[in-house]
Amino acid sequence: MRPNQPVPIIGLVAVAALSWNPLQAETDPIELTRGAMLSNSCAACHGTDGNSPGEIPSIGGKSARFIETALQEYRSGKRTGTVMGRHASAYSDEEIRLIAEFFAHGK
């Protein structure tokens, strides 16, 4: 949760201030990683950061192990669902691991 990090107030860093946006976002920033790129696609159904507002199960904050196992089992067909098998089959082991880690950290 970066915005809540302790903030020592020191010195004058004008350059950084110029890049500061007065229209401040309240939500956490996300790092531009491959894991984020893969996982953001899931948000259209599972909600931003995996927090679903409705009928589709939330995955944000579930353990990495749980998500990784679920995706692998959807891919192999061991676990059956409606649409997840059709999605999971597109991802490699490594990609599944990255997605699981992303959502396990609540983002």
Partner 1 sequence: MPRLSRRRFLELLGQAGTLSALSLVLPPLARAADKPGAKASARVVIVGGGFGGATCAKYLRRFAPDIHVTLIERDTRFITCPFSNTVLGGLNDMDYISHDYSGLQEHYGIEVVHDSVTEVDAAAKRVSLTNGGKQQYDALVVSPGIDFRWDAIAGYDEKTAESVPHAWKAGTQTETLRRQLEAMPDGGVVIIAPPGNPFRCPPGPYERASMIAYYLKTTKPRSKLLILDAKDKFSKQPLFVQGWEALYPGMIEWIGGSDWGGIGRLDAANRTLYSTFDTPHKADVINLIPPQKAGAIAHAAGLVNADGWCPVDQRTFESTLHKDVYVIGDASVAGQMPKSGFAANSQGKVCAAALAAKFHAIDMPEPSYVNTCYSLVGPEYGISVAGVYRLVDGEIKSVEKSGGVSPIDADRQFRQTEARYAVGWYQSIVSDSFG
CB of 7 to partner 1, least distance (A): 5
97 makes contact with partner 1 (CB under 8 A): no
Tokens of 6: 């302790």
- Collect all residues with Cβ–Cβ distance below 8 Å to 66 and sequence separation of at least 6: 100
What is the torsional sign of CA 57, 51, 61, 99?
positive
Q: Which is nearer to partner 1, 63 or 89 (CB)?
A: 89
Under DSSP, is residue 14 helix (H, G, I), strand (E, B) or coil? Answer: helix
Q: Of 46, 56, 45, give the one whose Cα is nearest residue 106.
A: 46
Cα 91 from Cα 82, distance rounded (Å): 17
Residues near partner 1 (CB under 8 A), total: 56
The single residue among 62, 79, 87, 97 that binds partner 1, judged by CB under 8 A, is: 87
14 makes contact with partner 1 (CB under 8 A): yes
94 makes contact with partner 1 (CB under 8 A): no
24 makes contact with partner 1 (CB under 8 A): yes
By the criterion CB under 8 A, which residues form the site for partner 1? Answer: 2-21, 23-34, 36-38, 40-48, 52-56, 82-83, 86-87, 89-91
